[in-house]
Structure 1
Amino acid sequence: MPDCLVNGVRLHFEEHGQGQEGRAPILCIHGMSTSALVWGPSVAKVAALGRTIVYDRRGCTRSERPQPYATNITQQADDAAALLRALDAAPAVVIGRSYGGEVALALALRHPETVRALVLLEAGLVNLVPEAKAWAEGVMARTLAAAEGEPSDAAKALVHEILGEGAWEKLPPPLQSMFAANSAAVVAEMRGGFLEAEPEALSKLGIPLLLVASAESPPAFRHVVAAMGAAIPMARTALVPGGHMIDLAEPAVLEFVATVVREPNP
């Protein structure tokens, strides 16, 4: 699969499906500690709807990790915009999970011409809910503390916090290896801070948007999704079963994407 030089960093990306006249491309942005590999066979279901691009964000797995490594959501969003332009794939329907959802939202706010619609799978815009922000700050503190003892433990600590006790042991060994190898990226992304967007800015988003929360995730995510839904006039919300690793091919997601890839640009 090819690489693309974006903002001075080599990003690994894959393309699936076929572009069609009148259909927007689809871009998938993975969350913290993972890579495009985490989407698995669900990519094929999304790609049945049109040209689908998945990539490893800066610092993750098959993409370049500059040394010393520091990053933030603004930089990651600018990477996504540059990748879409380099691949002649803008405006796109952008799907982001967790931290990748924050990147996707920042992309829409900073580079609105690159985004036709958004799907945010438990994007953690925690500044909207004080209790959620306090919870997320605790997760960050404990994860960074784990990394001080053993750098590769950052991802393990994060999985424990977000997916629950015993979740790490249930992961297949290849996923454990991928997560552990991205521990340096976890530390850099956490130190880069959360996305902060005020309701006024969110209210100006004039694109179709689907907010997805999971019934079994930590409650903070559901509270944030509810607050985002109240702030964004065009937002739809969906509650799905399972935990934080919401499937890219959830029926609610596929139904929404099937509609918005065919809509004219707003």
Structure 2
Amino acid sequence: MTKEFAVPPVVFPSGGNPSVVSIQKRRVPSAPFQPSRATNPSIPFMSFDIGSVTTASPSPATLYGGPIGGGATTFEAEEPLLDELGIHPDQIRRKTLSILNPVRVNAHPHTDSDLSGPVLYYVAFSLFQLLAGKIQFGVILGWIVVSSMFLYVVFNMLAGRTGNLDLHRCTSIVGYCILPVTVFSAVSLCLPAGGVVSFVMAGLFVLWSTRVCTSLLVQSCPDCEEHGGLIAYACFLIYMLFAMLVIF
């Protein structure tokens, strides 16, 4: 048995279909985190459109203080890398050419001492010895230091108060004058070991180095011309030791 309940009819104020009324009264949801124009009309609607962005981000040129091409002038004004390291190829070339003429030695390029050229010749000398099967990097470096100090002491003792040769310049002169011995170490690779030809050529190259080194030292102190023989003997001993490394 079904029981019936008396339900009063529902009357809508506007009348008509209730579904249509609900659709008309439905509010369109706004974007999240966006203020309503009705509540605050002074704040503009923020969208993600690129063209609507009013605040432009600073350009990289502004951040780094100028246009992108403005750094070229500063880069061109900088010194070359070799000059910053103290390596001057033109100076090394001029000093090398002065060494290659043992008859007429020009001491003017050697007024400014440097160690870049001597280090180059020392490394070349050691590499030629390595090609000959002799690992003598430490021996050559040690003899370089000892021979430079030995010649520095001998020259200043002979020159007395008039001597103005410092250890840096003495090392530079000894290093540049080892070029003939370096050439001999390269030529000896094609010669028979322990032959007469090797001894003769060793004597010629040692005399070449001795002549150039003595001339450079004497021209640096004109008062030492009377002691040229003693200075030449000290130079001869130094370069003879390097020549013996090549022969034996």
Q: Higher Cα Rg: structure 1 or 2? A: 2
* TM-score bin (small chain): under 0.3
| Structure with higher helix content | 2
